Amino acid sequence: MEVINSIAELRLRLASRGRIAFVPTMGNLHHGHLALVSLARQHADCVVVSIFVNPLQFGANEDLASYPRSLQADCEGLNQSGADIVFTPSESELYPVPQTVQVEPPPIAFDLCGKHRPVHFRGVCTVVAKLFNIVRPDVAIFGKKDYQQLFILREMVRQLEIPVEMLAGETMREADGLAMSSRNNLLNPAQRMEAPRLQRALQLVVQASRQGRRDFDAIEAQTTQYLTQLGWIVDYIAVRSASTLLTPLPDERQLLVLGAARLGMTRLIDNIEFAL
Amino acid sequence: MEVINSIAELRLRLASRGRIAFVPTMGNLHHGHLALVSLARQHADCVVVSIFVNPLQFGANEDLASYPRSLQADCEGLNQSGADIVFTPSESELYPVPQTVQVEPPPIAFDLCGKHRPVHFRGVCTVVAKLFNIVRPDVAIFGKKDYQQLFILREMVRQLEIPVEMLAGETMREADGLAMSSRNNLLNPAQRMEAPRLQRALQLVVQASRQGRRDFDAIEAQTTQYLTQLGWIVDYIAVRSASTLLTPLPDERQLLVLGAARLGMTRLIDNIEFAL
């Protein structure tokens, strides 16, 4: 496995590598990421993983500085998972001048997480478009834990005709159901005990829906109240159409419940796809 | 020469065509365009020309409906100039859903022509990025007549790391100095007689600068007044740095004068690069 910092060198290395699969990450890798790498391995001759904590996708009041970084451990895990190349550009390599050219995301980018992180998905789209232009992958892999991100990036790829196949990896969970996330490392022991409740709360929403309730507004409000009473600061709990991420039409049956909530300073997200 | 309307078919045709040069156009081609095609011919195994009048780059009050279209004559000229493939997508082929994902251009896109056409360069960047993703050219060719467009697209390519070499073709002129433009066809005979004066006015700016004047604001105002008295509606006359398109620093010597002005409903642009 090679670790490459330079765009020019990466391009040289990739010039004759056959079919390329690409897994963009911000590092501090967990089993969820490594499962994406294993999925990538099945789809290509050459698996490229990028590690770049992208400042563009953090708001001014967000956790860019405290975002966990662990390059050496990341590389060990990637080597074992079958990655061929790890691309670890510095900020000045990827953004040598202020990035004024950006990819404006679709309107759904300003709903859900985007309501609370207004610059986030513009930054995600811009860095992913740029990384796609550098790596030129045949296939790219993203995790379903960041479902809205996956949805928006698929829309970007479709609307800009980016020639890449988008694959989704399932969310990996700890034994107690907590979705694996780099931010889990930021939880103190008490928060870590409480954290799986977000997933359980989403399961309650699925249950209520399956029992025939379509008053999603009320279910969302009840779930928010439940979590709030237990010390969470809830950004949103939302039942949405799986195909549009908008409020479900009366006859829609392929749904998704998404949640974002904070324990102390740490913001967790999770979601469940379900069919009625 | 093949004429192709479908993105999927174009991709199939280009899969094994070696080095590709790409000339994006809006059709109604003149010798300026054909010179770009000849330049493309020297740089590639396969020359692709797109003809697409891009609604995204026209404001609501602009001349999208009256923009001249002449597909058959265009194809004859392209065939003679050595194009291999003409890509002529319909609007629904290129924009099957509303194009909410767009490429936000750099700040200079809201100065000069962008002051008068605020959505223009966002539309240009978006369609060119999309066409680049479809055609995946090794080299792309744009005319210097649309100097600000060339500058902005180069900035887009650089900032998004789009793997394409950008080449510029010189402005082609009629015998009387008028820059060739598809919009020249919209001029009535009296306007056509008057039209070369824009170029001559820019030459006067160059002369004044070469004579040592650095009071560009005053030169611009005088030139605007001169054209206005002759019936032009002047959007701007501007002396700028060739390297930044911003107001020249006191010691800058590689300059550019750009002008945009209307005769009746027809908006003409032109520019001259010069060194002091």
CA B18 to chain CA mean position, Å: 27
For residue B167, what pLDDT is reported?
98
**Listed residues A169, A193, A224: the one ending a domain:** A169
In a shared domain, residues A157 and A208: no
Provide the pLDDT for residue B68: 84
Distance CA B42, CA B216 (A): 39
- Plot region of A136 (φ>0 → left; ψ -120 to 50 → alpha; else → beta): left
Residues 6 or more apart whose CB falls under 8 angstroms from that of A117 comprise A59, A62
B10, B14, B92, B100, best to mutate vs chain A, most A CBs in 10 Å: B100
DSSP state of B43: T
CB contact under 8 A, A136 and B162: no
On whether the CB atoms of residues A239 and A220 are closer than 8 A, the answer is yes
Task: For B109, name the nearest residue in chain A, comparing CA atoms only.
Answer: A101
Domain span at residue A222 reads: 182-271
Helices and strands: H and E segment counts in chain A: 10, 10
Predicted-complex ipTM score:
0.94
A105 touches B: beta carbon within 8 Å: yes
How much is the average pLDDT of B175-187?
Answer: 95
Alpha helix stretches (DSSP H) within B82-135: 91-94, 113-116, 120-135
CB contact set of A76 (below 8 Å; sequence gap of 6+): none
Nearest to B184 by CA among B200, B202, B175, B196: B196
Residues of A in Cβ contact (< 8 Å) with B153: none
For A163, which residue in chain B has the nearest alpha carbon?
Answer: B133
Instruction: Indicate whether B229 pLDDT > 90.
Output: yes
Read off the pTM: 0.96
A173 burial (CB, 10 Å; 0-12 / 13-18 / 19+) is: middle
CB distance B198 to B259 below 8 Å: yes
Q: Does residue A96 fall inside a structural domain?
A: yes
Q: Do A101 and B101 touch (CB under 8 A)?
A: no
Q: Is residue B72 part of a domain?
A: yes
Task: Name the pLDDT band for B66 (thresholds 50, 70, 90).
Answer: confident
Separation CA B259–CA B233 (nearest Å): 11
Q: Indicate whether B94 and B57 sit together in one domain.
A: yes
- From A114, A146, A169, give the residue that closes a domain: A169
pLDDT score at A215: 95
CB contact under 8 A, B102 and A104: yes
Per-residue pLDDT of chain A (276 residues; tens, 9 = 90+): 999 999 999 999 999 889 999 999 999 999 999 999 999 999 999 999 999 999 999 998 888 988 888 999 999 999 999 999 999 999 999 999 999 999 999 999 999 999 999 999 999 999 999 999 999 999 999 999 999 999 999 999 999 999 999 999 999 999 999 999 999 999 999 999 999 999 999 999 999 999 999 999 999 999 999 999 999 999 999 999 999 999 999 999 999 999 999 999 999 999 999 999
Residue B211: pLDDT band (50, 70, 90) is very high
With a cut of 90, say whether residue B61 has pLDDT above it: no
Same domain, A108 and A146: yes
Same domain? B128 vs B163: yes
Whose CA is closest to A130, among A45, A57, A37, A183? A57
For an interface test with A, which of B10, B94, B159, B164 has the most A Cβ atoms less than 10 Å from its Cβ? Answer: B159
Query: Is A101–B100 a contact, with Cβ atoms under 8 angstroms apart?
Result: no
B14 touches chain A (CB under 8 A): no
**CATH number of the CATH domain containing A190:** 3.30.1300.10
Residue B244's SS3 state is: coil
Identify which of B77, B97, B91, B93 has the alpha carbon closest to the alpha carbon of residue B23: B77
Q: Is the pLDDT of residue B16 over 90?
A: no
Catalytic positions of A are: 33
Q: What is the pLDDT of residues B121-172, one digit of tens each?
A: 999 999 999 999 999 999 999 999 999 999 999 999 999 999 999 999 999 9
Average pLDDT over residues B211-235: 97
Looking at residue A61, its pLDDT comes to: 86
Cα–Cα distance, B239 to B246 (Å, whole number): 9
Are A151 and A267 members of one domain? no
**Same domain for B161 and B32:** yes
How far, in Å, are B31, B128, B171, B198, B200 from residue B176 at the CA level? 15, 32, 14, 11, 10
Instruction: Work out how many domains chain A is built from and give that number.
Output: 2
Predicted local distance difference test score (pLDDT) of residue A63: 86
Token pair for A216: 């999603």
Query: Are the beta carbons of B199 and B179 closer than 8 angstroms?
Result: yes
- pLDDT at A275 (0 to 100): 96
Is residue A43, in this structure, part of any structural domain at all? yes
Q: Is B243 helix (H, G, I), strand (E, B) or coil?
A: coil
Judge whether B175 lies within some domain: no
Q: Residues 125 to 154 of B: which have CB under 8 A from any A CB?
A: 125-126, 129-130, 133-134, 136
Residues A172, A179: Cα–Cα separation, whole Å: 6
Regarding whether B194 and B162 lie in a shared domain, the answer is: no
* Rounded Cα distance, A57 and A62, in Å: 9
B204 belongs to a structural domain: yes
Q: Clarify whether residues B163 and B37 are in a common domain.
A: yes
Q: Are B145 and B168 in contact (CB under 8 A)?
A: no
Which of these, B151, B168, B134, B180, lies nearest to B238 by C-alpha position? Answer: B151
Q: Are residues B103 and B208 in the same domain?
A: no
Share above pLDDT 90 across residues of chain B, in percent, rounded to a whole number:
96
CATH of the domain at B46: 3.40.50.620
Cβ contacts of B133 on chain A, cutoff 8 Å: 160-163
Q: Is residue B24 part of a domain?
A: yes
